[in-house]
Structure 1
Amino acid sequence: MPPPTGTLVHELSQNWLGKADIAVQTVLLAIGFVAVSLRLWSRRLLGVSWQGNDYLIVAAMIFMVGRYTVELALILLCGMGLHAAEVASVGGPDLFVQFDQLTYAGDLLWITIVALIQLSILHYYLGRFPRQIIIWASYVTMGLCTALWIASTFATAFFCTPPKKVWLSDMDGHCGNRKMLHLGTSVTEVVLDGVILLLPSPAIRDLVLSRARKVALGCIYALGIGIIAVSAVRIKVEFDLDPEDPTYGSARKSLLTSIVPLLGIITACLPVLSPSVQRTFGTSVFSSTTDGISTSPISPSWKSTLLSKSHMEEPEIPLVTVTMPPMAKKLSELAHGQIKITSDWEIHSARNSARLERDSIRRG
């Protein structure tokens, strides 16, 4: 048996699960960076400062980079994706201690990232859907997400007493049931994700959208459903892990675990990208009040938005109405359809009955 070499970087060519994990996470992380960048650019195009949901999604992206680094270390240094016997023969038993330490850190980061994404989406709902029932439901759900975040963090951090026993199994102390902890946390996350996905449905159902916006909305919901499906599969994989071969089984779980927050970041950014997409591709097919902020230029008309249960319309009410005096109107009728230009005119304000005549303006 060859002596341990300390790391398993040279074994990456044989680590197919590890390479697949790195490839998928790298691609999704790059897409996430693009989505967050376009989101912040959209805020700049709209001329508005960052909102609370923007800060939350940026924080989630920063923590996601940290978790991506942990995943690389697990694969390259600890051989995640290889069988435990091969890892032990190459790196020795001390490598499993490092593996457990990195897994412990990755679990804590994952809990934080998911909570930040959920809170970002719910905070966006508060400004986008100003219905009382949605606002109250969003606040309640935010409270539940925060409570789950705190409870899951403490339960994971102090899963063993003392915490070092997580990676030092020979140390005196005791640990809880890992599978039950992950089951409770994961099932609750899936339920909350479903609630967040369905929460704005009453407001969305009452809107009349163009075909392009319906397609975009359908894609957002499809991604949301996909995240819930991946989370459900992750629960199944968690229960199928072989405790005698942790490095091999953890690779599949790690891949699914990383997909959930990365898709969550992308999904959270999609509703805000309309201005940047319009500027990039030169199309206005998706332009609308996607973020609750009008992107149309200022015009000499006052637009009032009327919301009803069945549709939304924006009638234009002109500020000024120009009409011809009775004498000019009669002359125009006598001209048999020809245009008659006179020097007399009147202006009536749409907001009151004040009358401005040419002679009064000249006298002023």
Structure 2
Amino acid sequence: MCTLTTIATANTVGVAMPSIDPFRFSSSQQSLAIAIIIAFTALGFIVLCIRVAGRVSSHQFALDDALVCIAMVLSILETAASYMFIKTNFIGIRWQDIPPHDPVPGLVWNYAIEILYNPILALVKTSILLFLLRLFGQKPGVRRFIIWVNTANIGMMIGVFFATVFQCVPISKTWETSLEGTCIDRRILFTVSSSFNIVADMLILALPLKIFIGLKIPKRTKIALMFVFLLGFLTTITSIVRLVLLVQGLFMLNTSLSADANIGFVTSAIETNLAIITASAPALRPLLRTWFPRLFRVDRDEVVGNTERRVLGTAATRMTRLKSQTQLPSQSPRKSEEAIMTFNGIVKKSDIIIQYDSPRLDSMRPGTATRSQADLESQQLEKWI
């Protein structure tokens, strides 16, 4: 979505313009804009490749990974359309240096960007929510929250997509402004959809923050996990900056930014690719464990703490306790042997019952509920940490 289309083309609509090769024009600002969109897309692609490699190698590739892959494909298409829009709409070039030109190509590429932009963010949000659902969906309250947020996200994606495609009737009026037809108030459409994205980001970021605060894990690991998930705030900050620029451009508000060589348009590409990068950060388990082994390793002894040691004890302690306790019915194998003991010349026979540990015995002891809860939390985090 471009905030500069009106600036670059307002004086050319409805007038036959000569054919100009926009690729002959360039500036340092335009080159910077092109470098930014390509760099962020390349970085997003690299991070995604690392994520997919880690997931495939650990046999954990799931729907959330596939959705981010689809978002990456759309992001690459958006980058290509953004490059063409920057060139055909002379982004980054002072308006005094822009020659009279046909605005239609620039408006067509802008329309393509508008269609691609929102599905990328929506798919990334759905991917994050599915990941959180798989990780912490056992909690009923968390599960309901994720389902409701994801339903709203998908509904908004579908609604905004069709509203963007049919923003003008006929569709060609979107770029051929001189045609007869009607258009919705695109200022409201784009402002509302961008605001919804920001609100949804805040809700999604608040969820893992609340969950991690209550987890029984080492403090250093908890801080590391919160940091990884809260990287999404970078995307939210970018979304807010983009919304400010969007409102200023759509509503023609006074701004401290000069219209000359303004490249605020690139915030769209930064936002979508940052979303892919930050959404992939929690899934980079192998890389994070290699780089920061002390932070991104969940030690089961530390998670369960003294509770597990008190309940389970050592192997020798368990055998002593089993001998002293009344035998409980179990499917575990038993072995009876005869032992001959001599005491003051008296020969005595006794039966020694050797019984192997059974999960059922541990589950019947006090304190097992605490251990099971800690084990479950540990196992959930060990899926990706």
Do Structure 1 and Structure 2 share a fold, with TM-score over 0.5?
Answer: yes
TM superposition shift of 1:282: 8.5
Task: Check if 1:36 corresponds to 2:48.
Answer: yes
Q: Which residue of 2 aligns with 1:140?
A: 148
TM-score by length of 2: 0.70
Q: Which residue of 2 aligns with 1:69?
A: 80
TM superposition shift of 1:157: 1.0
Q: Summarize the Cα distance change of 1:314–1:277 in structure 2 as closer, same or farther, 3 Å threshold.
A: farther
CA distance in 1 between counterparts of 2:24 and 2:46 reads 32
TM superposition shift of 1:210: 4.1
**Counterpart among 12, 20, 39 of residue 6 in structure 1:** 20
Q: Is the 8 A contact 2:68 2:124 kept in 1?
A: yes
Task: Check if 1:24 corresponds to 2:36.
Answer: yes
TM superposition shift of 1:213: 3.3
Q: Is the 8 A contact 1:320 1:349 kept in 2?
A: no
1:1-364 equivalences under 5 Å are 6-12=20-26, 14-16=27-29, 18-48=30-60, 50-84=61-95, 86-87=97-98, 89=99, 92-94=100-102, 96-129=103-136, 130-210=138-218, 212-241=220-249, 252-279=263-290, 281=291, 283=293, 285-288=295-298, 317=312, 347-351=354-358
CA distance in 1 between counterparts of 2:154 and 2:267 reads 23
CA distance in 1 between counterparts of 2:92 and 2:50 reads 34
CA distance in 2 between counterparts of 1:46 and 1:132 reads 28
CA distance in 1 between counterparts of 2:143 and 2:150 reads 10
Q: Summarize the Cα distance change of 1:134–1:313 in structure 2 as closer, same or farther, 3 Å threshold.
A: farther
CA distance in 1 between counterparts of 2:306 and 2:178 reads 66
Secondary structure of 1:241's match? helix
Q: Which residue of 2 aligns with 1:358?
A: none
Q: Is the 8 A contact 2:120 2:272 kept in 1?
A: yes
TM superposition shift of 1:215: 4.6
Q: Which residue of 2 aligns with 1:338?
A: none
Q: Summarize the Cα distance change of 1:208–1:320 in structure 2 as closer, same or farther, 3 Å threshold.
A: closer
- Residue type matched to 2:153 in 1? C
What runs of 5+ residues in structure 2 fail to find an aligned partner?
1-16, 253-258, 325-338, 343-351, 362-385
CA distance in 2 between counterparts of 1:250 and 1:141 reads 39
**May I ask how many residue pairs the two structures share in their alignment?**
311
CA distance in 2 between counterparts of 1:177 and 1:197 reads 31
Secondary structure of 2:108's match? helix
Q: Is the 8 A contact 1:78 1:99 kept in 2?
A: yes
Q: Is the 8 A contact 1:323 1:346 kept in 2?
A: no
Q: Which residue of 2 aligns with 1:361?
A: none
Q: Summarize the Cα distance change of 1:174–1:221 in structure 2 as closer, same or farther, 3 Å threshold.
A: same
> Which segment is superposed worse, 264-273 or 206-215?
206-215
> Which segment is superposed worse, 31-40 or 202-211?
202-211
Q: Summarize the Cα distance change of 1:274–1:349 in structure 2 as closer, same or farther, 3 Å threshold.
A: same
Per-residue CA deviations over 1:241-272 (Å, capped at 9, x if unaligned) read 2799xxx6895442211121111111111111
TM-score by length of 1: 0.73
Per-residue CA deviations over 1:155-199 (Å, capped at 9, x if unaligned) read 111111111111101111121222111111111111111111112
What runs of 5+ residues in structure 1 fail to find an aligned partner?
290-295, 297-302, 332-344, 354-364
TM superposition shift of 1:25: 2.3
CA distance in 2 between counterparts of 1:210 and 1:348 reads 35
- Residue type matched to 2:198 in 1? V
CA distance in 2 between counterparts of 1:144 and 1:243 reads 27
> Which segment is superposed worse, 261-270 or 68-77?
68-77
Q: Is the 8 A contact 1:241 1:250 kept in 2?
A: no
TM superposition shift of 1:80: 1.8
Q: Summarize the Cα distance change of 1:217–1:282 in structure 2 as closer, same or farther, 3 Å threshold.
A: closer
Q: Is the 8 A contact 2:213 2:222 kept in 1?
A: no
CA distance in 1 between counterparts of 2:173 and 2:95 reads 20
Q: Percent identity?
A: 22
CA distance in 2 between counterparts of 1:163 and 1:314 reads 66
- Residue type matched to 1:227 in 2? T
Q: Summarize the Cα distance change of 1:314–1:263 in structure 2 as closer, same or farther, 3 Å threshold.
A: farther
